[in-house]
């Protein structure tokens, strides 16, 4: 067959150009009609085009007094993985004023068993991908996103500054911090920051076997902080000994994560918009569909000195309050839900170890236990410790290098 | 459970005294000295026991650590880069030791090549704050991890033996 002539090729190019132009135009048209524009005032008008009508209906139904106030609030979501991304989406759809997102991870195809992210976003930083999607859903929300690890020295101070100054009104604190991270180090870093700043925050988590989860509301000085007790575990009656991690670190289910995100945002809304009762601790045992709740006081011997300082400040504030107002509600330390499960210690803790544990173990509701116990402090043989040294850091560093 | 050999080598690592993290100024300097003392002793112990298996060094602030670890399998030496940051909450929380080269090659890792620690590492660490330091994290965390995972990775052909890396190229 003869090769096409130059004229024929030019014709083909022209035809393709025309087709491309048409396709581009179509995309623009779709974008134009579906792109939601900014709305300056939330309206309760019930029309198809009002994204807030069903939320504003909460006022008419007498659930919420002043729904529009949601626009005044700023929330920091730390960790936008399985729980945090769904949390951020819910808050965005609710019309929250501002979101600050923190995460150092990238979207991976291995995340696709969870909600929110899509395969085409693989490789993007999670905060970048989340911001883009969320802005499209609701352009009224303000965003600040940070793609870094909050637990390192370089980033921690910046993280604290953003909590202190990231409010809806410039240079005011955020209203809440939500911990949606998946590791102990990051939770402890958030706890440290919030104790220092006196910032209220919610902790949330899903167990590594994906069948339990919890949320916990920490008001520094008033309720137990994350360092007040060893991490809490919702007992699921799975035999811890047979539950071995065969070749994996952690499992995850979109269901458990969405339930926990839903609990979290529900309590955030109740707290911010003053309706219903906020849960201080709400556990989720997915195997038995059991939901233990409780409220824990802070530990007067907490390891975190800022927790102790916040406890003193809280006591002072309480003492300064006028006395007569209400008959002070007797604080329910533990709500005993009806359930048949006994508190059980995890397998690695022996009876003896449990007995040797410190006196200030938290009072827990049934169905919730501590991940481990700490032994009472005991005198150590001083010979086991490093000796005092005259050597400088530099000397030690070079000695190490010469080994 | 921690095996006997690990227990024995752990018992010989000196304990640390100062409860201080990188945000604690002068106290962190004291802690850092103790970290180096314990690490030096641990490496010396390993050499004496003919079980030398890692080297570490840090930036001058002691907040970022890096080095090599190696594992001998059927007379061949497999060497890996090790790195980790000291979190602001150290020593309440342990360092998260990472082997970045193996990221994505085993399910026993979190993102970034952070090794997945056993269920008893965290309780053990928590019960020994502030006495345990980096040397203990290596002995209790990375050592047992390598012993379990590397033979498996070799067997699966994910890790293959390489001739000694050209040490002259890097500086
Ligand atoms: Zn506390």
Pick left, alpha or beta for residue B75 (phi over 0 → left; psi -120 to 50 → alpha; otherwise beta).
left
B66-109 pLDDT tens trace: 999 999 999 999 999 999 999 999 999 999 999 999 998 888 88
Q: What is the mean pLDDT of residues A263-272?
A: 98
Q: Is B116 a catalytic residue?
A: yes
Segment 87-116 of chain B within 8 Å of chain A by CB: 87-89, 92-93, 96, 107-111, 116
Alpha carbon A155 to its chain's center: 18
Q: Return the pLDDT at A125.
A: 97
Are A185 and B89 within 8 A, CB to CB? yes
First to last CA, chain A: 75
Percent of chain A with pLDDT over 70: 85
Supply the Cα-derived Rg of chain A in whole angstroms: 27
Spell out which residues of chain A touch residue B57, defining contact as CB-CB under 8 Å. 397, 400-401
Is the pLDDT reported for residue A305 higher than 60?
yes
Instruction: Give ipTM to 2 decimals.
Output: 0.87
Are B40 and A400 within 8 A, CB to CB? yes
Is the pLDDT reported for residue A324 higher than 90?
no
Are B36 and A375 within 8 A, CB to CB? no
Q: What is the mean pLDDT of residues A217-243?
A: 83
Q: What is the mean pLDDT of residues A119-145?
A: 97
Q: What is the mean pLDDT of residues A105-119?
A: 92
**DSSP one-letter string for chain B:** ---HHHHHHHHTSPBP-----TTSTHHHHHHHHHHHHHHHHHHHHHHHTT---EEEEE-TTSSEEEEEEEEEETTEEEEEEEEEE--TTTTTS----B-GGGTTT-SSEEGGGEEPPPTTHHHHHHHTTTT--HHHHIIIIIHHHHHHHHHHHHHTTSS---PPP-TTT--
Q: Return the pLDDT at A397.
A: 94
Q: What is the mean pLDDT of residues A289-313?
A: 96
CATH 3.40.50.720 assigned to A44-403: yes
Spell out which residues of chain B touch residue A248, defining contact as CB-CB under 8 Å. 107-108, 116
**Which 3 state secondary structure label does DSSP give A90?**
helix
- B11/B93 Cα distance (integer angstroms): 21
**Helices in A171-275 by DSSP H: which ranges?**
184-197, 254-273
Dihedrals phi, psi of B131, to nearest 5 degrees: -70, -30
- Exposure string over A338-374, b if 16+ CB within 10 A, otherwise e: eeebeeebbebbeeebeeebeeeebebbbbbbbbbbb
Chain A positions contacting chain B at CB under 8 Å are 105, 108, 149, 151-153, 156, 183-185, 188-189, 192, 227, 230, 245, 247-249, 303, 348-349, 371-372, 374-375, 380, 384-387, 389, 391, 393, 396-397, 399-401, 403
């Amino acid at each position: 067959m003869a090769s096409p002539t130059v004229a024929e090729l030019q014709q083909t190019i022209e035809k393709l150009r025309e087709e491309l132009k048409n396709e581009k135009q179509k995309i623009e048209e779709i974008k134009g009609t579906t792109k939601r524009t900014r709305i300056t005032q939330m309206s309760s008008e019930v029309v198809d085009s009002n994204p807030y009508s069903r939320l504003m209906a909460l006022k008419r139904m007498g659930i919420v007094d002043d729904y529009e106030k949601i626009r005044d609030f700023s929330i920091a979501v730390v960790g936008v993985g399985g729980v945090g991304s769904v949390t951020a989406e819910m808050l965005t759809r609710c019309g929250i004023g501002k979101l600050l997102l923190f995460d150092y991870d990238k979207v991976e195809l291995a995340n696709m068993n969870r909600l929110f992210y899509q395969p085409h976003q693989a490789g993007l930083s999670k905060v970048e991908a989340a911001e883009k999607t969320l802005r499209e859903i609701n352009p009224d929300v303000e965003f600040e996103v940070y793609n870094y690890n909050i637990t390192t020295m370089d980033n921690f101070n910046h993280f604290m500054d953003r909590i202190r100054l990231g409010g809806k009104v410039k240079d005011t604190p955020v209203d809440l911090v939500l911990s949606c991270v998946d590791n102990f180090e990051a939770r402890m870093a958030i706890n440290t920051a919030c104790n220092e700043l006196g910032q209220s925050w919610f902790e949330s988590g899903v167990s590594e076997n994906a069948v339990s989860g919890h949320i916990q509301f920490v008001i520094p000085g008033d309720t137990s902080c994350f360092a007040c007790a060893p991490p809490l575990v919702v007992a699921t009656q799975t035999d811890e000994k047979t539950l071995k991690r065969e070749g994996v670190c952690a499992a995850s289910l979109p269901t458990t994560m969405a339930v926990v995100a839903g609990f979290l945002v529900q309590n955030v809304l109740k707290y911010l918009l003053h309706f219903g009762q906020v849960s201080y601790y709400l556990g989720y045992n997915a195997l038995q569909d059991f939901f233990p709740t409780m409220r824990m006081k802070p530990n007067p011997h907490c390891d975190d000195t800022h927790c102790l300082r916040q406890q003193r400040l809280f006591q002072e504030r309480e003492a300064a309050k006028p006395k007569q107002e209400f008959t002070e509600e007797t604080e329910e330390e533990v709500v005993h839900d009806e359930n048949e499960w006994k508190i059980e210690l995890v397998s690695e803790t022996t009876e003896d170890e449990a007995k040797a544990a410190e006196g200030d173990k938290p009072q827990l509701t049934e169905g919730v236990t501590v991940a481990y116990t700490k032994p009472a402090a005991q005198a150590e043989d001083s010979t086991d410790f490093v000796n005092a040294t005259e050597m400088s850091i530099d000397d030690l560093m070079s000695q190490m290098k010469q080994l | 459970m921690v095996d006997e050999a690990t227990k024995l080598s752990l018992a010989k690592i000196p304990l640390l005294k100062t409860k201080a993290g990188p945000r604690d100024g002068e106290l962190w300097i004291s802690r850092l000295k103790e970290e180096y003392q314990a690490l030096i002793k641990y490496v010396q112990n390993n050499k004496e026991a003919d079980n030398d298996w890692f080297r570490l060094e840090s930036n001058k602030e002691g907040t970022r650590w890096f080095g090599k670890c190696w594992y001998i399998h059927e007379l061949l030496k497999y060497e890996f880069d090790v790195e980790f940051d000291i979190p602001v909450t150290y020593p309440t929380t342990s360092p998260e030791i990472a082997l970045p080269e193996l990221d994505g090659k085993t399910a026993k890792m979190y993102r970034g090549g952070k090794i997945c620690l056993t269920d008893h590492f965290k309780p053990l660490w928590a019960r020994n704050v502030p006495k345990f330091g980096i040397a203990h994290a290596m002995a209790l965390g990375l050592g047992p991890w390598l012993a379990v995972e590397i033979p498996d990775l070799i067997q699966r052909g994910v890790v293959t033996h390489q001739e000694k890396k050209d040490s002259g190229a890097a500086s």
